[in-house]
Amino acid sequence: MRGWFWALLVLLQSCTHSSPEAETWNAHLEAERSRWESRVGERVTLEGEAENAKLGARVGELWIADFPTWPAGIPGTRVRASGTLIFRDDLPVFPRERYSPNGPVPAGIGVPEGADLEKSRRRYLLEKVEWSRADR
């Protein structure tokens, strides 16, 4: 009976500790939050590479709320975008280790086991965007 108790205790403890990958992920989320959270509602200007992604248009690490894709010829170029910083907690996330590689693929973004799922759902966006090519 005692052996089962200790085995269960070790198992429960292993479930409560984050993996190094999850700790790195959570640190990245915290850095992103500390960079942007205090500026929500403010007008922000960002310069970076325009990118089209599955969830829409991006510049740097911010999403563009006003349009789903950049106009033709713009992705891959440097742009300067200004807009009001907002956030949405709308990203579908799941702990990827809980799903079998041979089973159905869940919809969403796989995050490391032990990652903060609520913080992983957050993304920062610019709305009411004015933009121009940065090389002009």
From the first residue on, what is the mean pLDDT of each consecutive set of 10 residues in the chain (136 residues)?
42 53 77 84 95 92 93 96 94 79 78 84 92 87
Q: What is the pLDDT of residue 87?
A: 93
pTM: predicted TM-score of the whole model, two decimal places: 0.72
The per-residue pLDDT for 136 is 66
What pLDDT score does 18 carry?
Answer: 62
pLDDT of 72 reads 96
- Distances 103 to 7, 94, 99 between C-alpha atoms, Å: 29, 15, 7
CB-based contacts of 68: which residues, under 8 Å, 6+ apart?
56, 57
Q: Which amino acid is at 84?
A: T
Residue-range domain boundaries for the chain: 20-133
